[in-house]
Amino acid sequence: MSTKKGDGADNGVGHNHKLTNAESEALFFHHLKPILAQKAVVAKQQTELNRLRKLCKADGFKLKLVDAAVEMDSAEDESIVVEDLRDRLRVASWLGLPVGHQLDLLDNPDRSPLVDTAYAAGLAAGKLAKARTSPHADSTDAGQAWLRGYDEAQDQAKEDLKTAMDKLNARMKKPKENPIGDHDVKTGEAAGGIPDPVSKNGKSGKPKSGGAQASA
């Protein structure tokens, strides 16, 4: 009597489910190959991440601040971020640091109108160039406020970034000041009036044409 496909009797397995050494090896390399490939991708991405962080630091930003911003933006619940800020400010006040009334602001619930909070959220999304998708219906006042904030942030960011880059480029192109003045190609002397070295006998230390300097 023929055996139906799928009952396990025609695939060579039977009741022996233990893998042979060769089978274990094949299965191991089956998993290892994509892991190694992914690690190569991650290493390349890490290299690019390090490059971007160095650029940010070179423009004067603390990487600690960048990491904090990434953590805040990645939080699934914004209340967790607020709670963390509240805890840090509370400890700072215990240590006598001048935190002012910031702790009171965080302890009090935000009673801002929905339209205002939506606008602020749109601003933040626009600055980060996230998807232009409001969490509120576009037909509502909150939805329109979010979109308005997003668009304003995008336009302002483009303008501010352009002026910032222009200033940075101008700073990089600015020639460094020469402390001894510009060099005069004809005389070999500094234009700032600094004389040639003088030897102990009072004569110019500048070599004569033709090579070696005459001995005293």
Torsion angles phi and psi, residue 198, rounded to 5: -115, 135
pLDDT along the chain (216 residues), means of 10: 50 72 94 96 96 94 94 85 85 79 66 87 91 94 94 93 89 62 42 42 46 44
Tell me the C-alpha distance between 76 and 51, whole Å: 27
For the chain, the domains span 25-74, 75-111, 112-173
Report the chain's C-alpha Rg in angstroms. 35
Per-residue pLDDT at 50:
96
pTM: 0.56
Per-residue pLDDT at 97:
79
CA 3 to chain centre: 62
Give just the sign of the alpha carbon dihedral 166, 167, 168, 172: positive
Q: First and final CA of the chain: distance in angstroms?
A: 120
Q: Are 199 and 216 in contact (CB under 8 A)?
A: yes
Per-residue pLDDT at 37:
97
| DSSP symbols for 77-114 | -HHHHHHHHHHHHHHHHHTT---TTHHHHHHS-----H
Tell me the C-alpha distance between 88 and 106, whole Å: 11
Q: Are 189 and 195 in contact (CB under 8 A)?
A: yes
Per-residue pLDDT at 177:
54
Q: Are 51 and 63 in contact (CB under 8 A)?
A: no
Per-residue pLDDT at 111:
72
